[in-house]
Chain A
């Protein structure tokens, strides 16, 4: 079994961005793989660009980190010059400029989501190749293949914040169940006019799907169990 530890760090990934009435919810799994080895089982794939705009990263870890670092820097300058928070459309366009003009050298798919006072909550998908497309919801990464049908059925307009977050968590959890390159925990970020809320759903607390079993004799339980009571005289 060749683990190929020299393979570039890639994020197998499932990333999702969903709009609801009042803002957006971004969600992602947390697995970063190098070949067949999980290099980081608790990575944070939803990175901040500005106070009100976040981006979900997928594909090559190095490429996506560098692109988001550059765009964060440009947006910081832009915010200073503009004198007010940057819009989601501008952030998505900056991401797109880097992705399109360097399309031969980059291998990263991104989902930009945020809230601004002009357009409200918006999601922009920037897949491989560098197109930018505004969508009411976007999915990306290797695990997204398993979610197209699910979203066709489950997505509806004008959900509430709770409904949207539950949808995202359910979707990432379904993708984790079927995609080997996705796993770990589910992280969500909710962005609306009030601000940003980060949530965390550990992998073992997610709902069990078809043919998934309850943990039995789990090492986690054994290790975390209290020791035997000392003898009382």
Chain B
């Protein structure tokens, strides 16, 4: 470690100051920890992204962009809203997501409705995201945020697996997610239920948008969390079998689907046990289309084809081996 090369010379440093200098190589937070002026929001450095949201208020100062979140457009958006432009609404997953630990592992459940304000944008979206072969994550909140953050951490986990040569652990995913969400101070609106089985056993965690986490035997998140939690609190017990667990999760999600406006459509379930996982997409469909015309739907006038012209974009090239390969 470069610890030993630190220059003790000029100033009397306490033990901890050089610890922080050394730790700078591992993660860059020294600037915000030991700056003599804690109000240094107007001079962000490229290395420190912790507590960076202060830049928003300094958008008038001419600061070159140095990576990380840029809030410059927020001022423009505020100005447009004042002039009367209606801001586009976010695609939120209103959502009921749940997880519980049963005898052999973890069961995750989610509904499948994605809302954009009062409109259902997607009647059958997937809220249970893949993180690792043995870890899955349900996401509630802004759909883009949950997708992006779970994809990002899933990639980081894969790289970590290549580097360590071991299966991913649930707490690794947890730490990566919580660090990311905390550094964005709740602006990344992703509330997650993370569950998986690793070498240390089954784990279930909830992660809130501000970066706090809880470790629980059963958990619910999203707008339908109260409805689902009431089912869990009444019926959960330790050591459930697989079928009992799936039944309880489906019941909790259905409770969210029928009692919460932000949740609806179908029930997705994911069962993770040691060395094995089952993704039961649309395990239950308690909201089928009520009326389908028995005659079927037909569209009389098809689109006319006037002319067909096919242009191949890639040339097929034949390669024939001629002569001997070059040898040194």
Could you tell me the distance in whole angstroms from the C-beta of B123 to the nearest C-beta in chain A? Answer: 24
Known: A101-B33, A104-B39. A74 touches B16 (CB 8 A): yes
Nearest CB of A to B98, in Å = 14
Q: Are A102 and B234 in contact (CB under 8 A)?
A: no
How many chain B residues touch A (CB < 8 A): the figure is 33
Tell me the residues in window 215-269 of chain B with beta carbons closer than 8 Å to chain A beta carbons: 216, 223, 225-226, 234
A5 within 8 A of B: yes
Please state if A97 and B39 are interface contacts (CB–CB under 8 Å).
Answer: no
The 6 nearest A-B residue pairs measured at CB: A61-B212, A62-B212, A62-B211, A62-B210, A9-B212, A40-B214
Assuming the contacts A8-B186, A102-B38, asked whether A94 and B210 have C-beta atoms less than 8 A apart, the reply is no
Bound-state CA distance A223–B234 (Å) is 8
Q: Does A177 contact B (CB under 8 A)?
A: no
> From A94, which residue of chain B is reached at the shortest CB distance?
B16
Are the CB atoms of B182 and A62 closer together than 8 Å? yes
Interface 9-mer from A20-28, A31-39, A111-119, A183-191? A31-39
A65 at the interface (CB under 8 A from B): yes
Give the residue of B19, B38, B185 whose beta carbon is less than 8 angstroms from that of A101.
Answer: B38
Per the CB 8 Å criterion, the residue count for chain A at the interface is: 35
Q: Does A42 contact B (CB under 8 A)?
A: yes
A-B contact pairs, 20 of them (CB 8 A): A3-B226, A9-B208, A9-B210, A34-B208, A37-B226, A40-B214, A42-B216, A60-B210, A65-B178, A66-B211, A70-B29, A74-B16, A78-B15, A78-B16, A81-B19, A93-B16, A97-B33, A101-B33, A103-B38, A104-B39
A6: chain B residues within 8 A (beta carbon): 209
* Binary contact readout A82-117 vs B (1 if CB under 8 angstroms, 0 otherwise): 000000000001100110011111000000000000
Given contact pairs A5-B223, A42-B216, A105-B51, A66 touches B34 in the complex (Cβ within 8 A): no
Asked if A65 and B51 make an inter-chain contact with CB atoms under 8 angstroms apart, the answer reads no
Task: Determine whether B282 belongs to the interface, using a CB cutoff of 8 Å to chain A.
Answer: no
Instruction: Answer whether residue A135 sits at the interface, using C-beta atoms and an 8 A cutoff.
Output: no
Give the distance in Å from the alpha carbon of A103 to the alpha carbon of B34 in the complex: 12
Q: How far is the CA of A34 from the CA of B226 in the complex (A)?
A: 12
A43–B167 alpha-carbon span in the complex (Å): 28
Interface string of B199-214 (1 = CB under 8 A from A): 0000000101111111
Nearest-CB distance from B175 to chain A (Å)? 8
Q: Are A104 and B216 in contact (CB under 8 A)?
A: no
Contact B214 A32 (CB under 8 A): yes
Q: Is the CB of A104 within 8 A of B38?
A: yes
Q: Which residues of A have CB within 8 Å of B35? A: 101
> Does A77 interact with chain B (Cβ within 8 Å)?
yes
Q: Name the residue in A62, A103, A219 with the highest tally of chain B Cβ atoms < 10 Å from its Cβ.
A: A62
| Contacting residues of chain A (7-63) with chain B, CB-CB under 8 angstroms | 8-9, 32, 34, 37, 39-40, 42-43, 60-62
Q: Verify if B136 is at the interface (C-beta below 8 Å from A).
A: no
Is B102 located at the chain interface by the 8 A CB criterion?
A: no
B227 to chain A: closest CB distance in Å?
12
> Could you mark each residue 190-233 of chain A with 1 if its beta carbon is under 8 Å from any beta carbon of chain B, else 0?
00000000000000000000000000000100010000000000
Which of B23, B175, B208 contacts A61, CB < 8 Å? B208
CA distance A61 to B3 in the complex (A): 33
The interface residues of chain B lying within 8 Å CB-to-CB of A66 are: 178, 182, 211
B 167-213 contacts with A by CB, 8 A: 175, 178, 181-182, 185-186, 206, 208-213
Complex interface: chain A residues within 8 A of B38 (CB):
101-104
| Alpha-carbon gap, A93 to B29, bound state (A) | 18
Q: Which residue of B lies closest to A38 (CB)?
A: B229
A174, B208: Cα distance in complex, Å: 30
Q: Are A98 and B33 in contact (CB under 8 A)?
A: yes
B168 nearest CB across to chain A (Å): 19
Q: A8-B186, A77-B19 are in contact. Are A60 and B225 (CB under 8 A)?
A: no
User: B33 and A60: CB pair below 8 A?
Assistant: no
Which of A5, A97, A104, A223 lies in contact with B225, CB distance below 8 A? Answer: A5
Complex Cα gap A1–B226 (Å): 14
- A104 / chain B contacts, CB cutoff of 8 Å: 38-39
How far apart sit A81 and B209, CA to CA, in the bound complex (Å)?
Answer: 36
Scan B293-317; emit 1 where CB is below 8 A from any A CB, else 0.
Answer: 0000000000000000000000000
Residues in A with CB closer than 8 Å to B181 are 62
User: Which of A73, A78, A102 meets B33, CB within 8 Å?
Assistant: A102
Interface residues of B in 12-37 (CB under 8 A from A): 15-16, 19, 22-23, 29, 32-35
**Contact flags A155-194 to B (C-beta < 8 A → 1, else 0):** 0000000000000000000000000000000000000000
Extra inter-chain contacts (17) besides given A40-B214, A102-B33, CB under 8 Å: A5-B225, A8-B209, A8-B210, A8-B212, A9-B212, A34-B208, A37-B225, A39-B208, A40-B206, A61-B210, A62-B211, A65-B178, A69-B175, A77-B22, A93-B16, A101-B33, A101-B38
Instruction: Tell me which residues across on chain A come within 8 A of B185, comparing CB atoms.
Output: 105
Task: Give Cα distance in the complex from A182 to B130, angstroms.
Answer: 36
What is the bound-complex CA distance between A93 and B20, given in angstroms? 14
B328 to chain A minimum Cβ distance, whole angstroms, is 51
